[in-house]
Amino acid sequence: MTETVPPGLRRARRVATLLDDAVTIPVVNVKVGLDSLIGLLPLSGDLAAGLLSLYIVFEAARSGVPRPVLARMLFNVAVDTVVGSVPVVGDLFDVVWKANRRNVTLFERVVDADG
């Protein structure tokens, strides 16, 4: 039996992969994405990554995810953006926090609960 995935969730998954897990760093076997890479640019990179992360929240909202879950998703993006803007420590935090992956998981839980 195949699972029917809403188009918004499918798009959110692709964006999360691009932003959080697109490339595996050899030797240490850690996945990073555009969020971590553009976050290396002081302040503007983290703001740009934060704006890209909002796309997942937008897809969730369009799909009818409840407001408390959307609030949690916005919190995840805010933490990622604010802490990620701290030089060096923020860049390491971006690699570990993976706000986009967290937000897709929240989105999936709502879809699973409804389906």
Q: Which residues contact 47 (CB under 8 A, 6 or more apart)?
A: 81, 85
Q: State the pLDDT at residue 113.
A: 85
11 contacts 1 by C-beta, under 8 angstroms: no
Token pair 């999360």 is found at 16
Confidence label for 107 from pLDDT (cuts 50, 70 and 90): very high
> Over 60: is that where the pLDDT of 62 sits?
yes
Q: CA nearest 53: which of 81, 25, 72, 28?
A: 81
For the segment 1-50, what is each residue's pLDDT rounded down to a tens digit?
A: 456 889 999 999 999 999 999 999 999 999 999 999 998 888 899 999 99
Tell me what pLDDT residue 1 has.
47
DSSP sequence for 70-109: HHHHHHHHHHHHHHHTSTTHHHHHHHHH-HHHHHHHHHHH
pLDDT of residue 114: 81
Q: What is the pTM of this model?
A: 0.92
